[in-house]
Amino acid sequence: MDFEPYRGELVAYCYRMLGSYHEAEDLVQETMLRAWKARDRYDPARASVRTWLYRIATNVRLTALEGRTRRPLPSGLGAPSDDPGTPLTPALDIPWLQPFPDARFDVEVRADMRLALVAAMQVLPPRQRAVLVLREVLEFTAAEVAGQLGTTAAAVNSALQRARAALAEVGGVEEVSEPDDAGARAVLQRYVRAFEAADVPALVRLLTDEAVLEMPPVPLWFRGSRDYGLFMERVFAMRGTGWGMRHLTANGQPALAAYAPEPGGRHRLHTLQVFTVTGGRVAHNVVFADPHVFEAFDLPRQISSDEFRRPR
């Protein structure tokens, strides 16, 4: 019995529930191990292999979530900062939401995984999260989900209604431009040129008036193009000019890897930035500075200046 064809979609499923790519990989490995040990008890008359695997994965995930706090972004913990000069002290005791490395998976696997939605789902109780994803993303029937959760179809439908209502209250999960959208690509190209030139006025012109900038594991965040620009002035004053940027995608959104200049003509990986582009402007930038996040994207830690001069 071959379970490998289902690995990618199971990782995406567990990520939506957990908000951590590394934990999702671990839970899928546990799911595969349990499925292999129980393979002799699998009954094809009762469920497909895919449905059976999701039942095992759901049980593994619900057990893993017992007693855990949600994985937030800084904007989910309080009001924005009004001081772009605030000390950048990381809060390493908070299990921050992590981005998802798109390049490792098929396009179909990455649907409905934008950061704002995954962050909003973290406020739901674990079983409601499972119902929402199994029903609305993976399109299992209410009866199939009931079997996976050991409950009734009526209970599944009730949990789905509550999950939808809770997400509507959270807000901030509107549709965003996809990475292959021509308008989004053009905005990111202009953003890269402005960032590499340390041209703060040009960066600000690419922002919406209420643009949000946040930087886990630093717990503070900023709202508004003015404070965004003031913070970027601080960054360039501290780290200098001549940055290099690499395009990638995360959570089905356009993203950039930012490399800060170093003496000797090399650049060191500084942050991974995930963008929300709406109406031809950057509305949200989540800047990840955790080296553990970089590992999931297989990003080189250092790059020569020549690599950024090559045509892109």
For residue 183, pLDDT beyond 80: yes
Distance CA 28, CA 45 (A): 24
Percent of the chain past pLDDT 70, that is, above it, reads: 95
For residues 54 and 140, the answer to whether their CB atoms sit within 8 Å is yes
pLDDT given at position 181: 82
What is the rounded distance in angstroms from the CA atom of residue 47 to the CA atom of residue 147?
A: 9
pLDDT greater at residue 174 or residue 235: 235
Identify the CATH assignment for 4-170 out of 1.10.10.10, 3.40.50.970, 3.40.50.2000, 2.60.40.10: 1.10.10.10
What residue spans in the chain does CATH classification 1.10.10.10 cover? 4-170
Q: For 182-309, give the CATH class.
A: alpha beta
Residue spans in the chain of domains classed CATH 3.10.450.50? 182-309
Confidence of residue 312 (pLDDT cuts 50, 70, 90): very low
**What DSSP assignment string belongs to 232-300?**
HHHHHHHH-S--EEEEEEETTEEEEEEEEEETTTEEEEEEEEEEEEETTEEEEEEEE--HHHHHHTT--
Which residue type sits at 28?
A: V
Q: How confident is the model over 140-151, as a mean pLDDT?
A: 93
The owner of tokens 């202009």 is 190
Please report the pLDDT score of residue 69 as a whole number. Answer: 80
- Written as one string, the DSSP assignment of 37-54 is HTGGG--TTT--HHHHHH
88 vs 219: CA distance, rounded Å: 8
E strands in the chain:
207-215, 218-223, 244-250, 253-262, 266-278, 281-288, 302-304
- Give yes or no for residue 176 having a pLDDT over 70: no
Position 214 scores a pLDDT of 97
Among 261, 204, 260, residue whose Cα is nearest residue 232: 204
Averaged over 60-70, what is the pLDDT? 85
The alpha carbon dihedral of 65, 67, 71, 75 has a sign of positive
pLDDT above 90 (res 66): no
Q: What is the mean pLDDT of the chain?
A: 90
pLDDT in tens, 146-171: 999 999 999 999 999 999 998 888 76
pLDDT higher than 60, residue 19: yes
For the chain, the 3-state helix, strand and coil shares in percent, each to the nearest 5, are 50, 20, 30
CA angle 60, 63, 66 (to 5 degrees): 150
Q: What global pTM score does this model have?
A: 0.91
Residue 271 pLDDT level (bands cut at 50, 70, 90):
very high
SS3 call for 212: strand
